Amino acid sequence: MAAYPSVEGKKFLELIDYILKKEDTVRWAKQHGLIAATMTCRCLADMRFAESALTADGYLWRCRNSRCRATKTIRHGSFYSHSQLSLTNCILMTYFWSMYDVSQATVASILDLDVGHTLPDWFNLHRDLCFDWARDNPARIGGPGHIVQIDESCISSAKDRGTEMHVQLGHAGFLEASIRKQKMPFWWK
Asked whether residue 171 is domain-assigned, the answer is yes
* pLDDT tens, position by position, 89-130: 888 888 888 876 788 888 888 888 877 778 888 888 888 888
Sign of the four-CA dihedral 142, 147, 150, 151: negative
- Domain count for the chain, please give it: 1
Asked whether residue 106 is domain-assigned, the answer is no
Asked whether residue 44 is domain-assigned, the answer is no
* pLDDT tens, position by position, 10-37: 566 677 776 778 888 898 889 888 899 9
Asked whether residue 40 is domain-assigned, the answer is no
183: confidence class by pLDDT, cuts 50, 70, 90:
very low
Pairing of strands 148-158, 181-182: unpaired
Asked whether residue 157 is domain-assigned, the answer is yes
DSSP 57-125: TSEEEEES-TTT--EEETTTTSTTTT--S-HHHHHHHHHHHHSTT--HHHHHHHHT--TTTHHHHHHHH
Q: How confident is the model at residue 99, as a pLDDT?
A: 76
132 Cα distance to chain centroid: 12
In the three-class reduction of DSSP (H, G, I as helix; E, B as strand; rest coil), residue 142 is classed as coil
Asked whether residue 97 is domain-assigned, the answer is no
CA distance 72 to 131: 29
pLDDT over 90 for what percent of the chain?
20
Asked whether residue 125 is domain-assigned, the answer is no
Asked whether residue 12 is domain-assigned, the answer is no
Q: Which range of residues forms the domain containing residue 160?
A: 148-188
Q: How confident is the model at residue 60, as a pLDDT?
A: 94
**Which of these ranges, 42-51, 112-121, 176-185, has the smallest mean pLDDT?**
176-185
